């Protein structure tokens, strides 16, 4: 099972934690928990989804221990528009991954949960123990930072 699922689960861990060492630690802990709770799994075909949920939960637990969540002012919601929500689908994958990894921890965590894991802001807030407003403003801040950094890179490369 480890060989079959570890690569995909590691991908989630690296996106959520930001570093290889932290991702490996979270992945290892997630598999330990999965094997300890394997008897609770009702249908074997659902193992991948069940394991994914454990991995995300462990990434969130890691974030709560290691990241400091700034309560951004409500002004970010006014300053940063939520229009063009899918702008990032036009960016080369490697560049996008590189820039996501460079985001501040809280912004990266929320961006990944919202965009890549399809969590809603209410669900993110509950999971991370932050306000829904903080989730929204950190997501908007992440988007703004990504747009600025990626645009700067593409302009300097002559791509746009």
Structure confidence by residue, pLDDT tens digits, 73-115: 333 334 334 444 455 556 677 788 888 889 998 899 999 999 8
- Give the Cβ contact number of residue 90 at 10 Å: 8
**Helix, strand, coil shares of the chain as percentages rounded to 5?**
75, 0, 25
pTM: 0.60
DSSP for residue 90: G
Q: How much is the pLDDT for 70?
A: 45
Crossing angle for the helix pair 132-157 and 121-128, to the nearest 10 degrees:
110
Q: Tens digit of pLDDT for each residue in 5-58?
A: 999 999 999 888 888 999 999 999 999 999 999 988 888 778 898 999 899 889
Which domains are delineated in the chain?
A: 2-66 (1.10.1740.10), 75-157 (1.10.10.10)
28 CA to centre of own chain: 18
């Amino acid at each position: 099972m480890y060989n079959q699922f570890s690569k995909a689960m590691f991908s989630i861990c690296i996106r959520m934690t930001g570093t290889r060492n932290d991702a490996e630690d979270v992945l290892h802990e997630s598999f330990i928990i999965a094997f300890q709770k394997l008897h609770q799994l009702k249908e074997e075909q659902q193992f991948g989804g069940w394991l994914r949920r454990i991995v995300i939960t462990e990434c969130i637990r890691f974030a709560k221990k290691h990241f400091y969540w700034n309560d951004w002012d409500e002004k970010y919601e006014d300053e940063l528009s939520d229009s063009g929500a899918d702008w990032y689908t036009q960016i080369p994958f490697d560049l996008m991954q590189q820039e996501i990894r460079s985001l501040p921890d809280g912004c990266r965590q929320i961006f990944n949960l919202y965009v890549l894991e399809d969590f809603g802001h209410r669900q993110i807030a509950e999971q991370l123990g932050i306000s829904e407003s903080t989730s929204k403003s950190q997501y908007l801040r992440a988007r703004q930072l990504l747009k600025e950094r990626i645009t700067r890179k593409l302009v300097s490369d002559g791509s746009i």
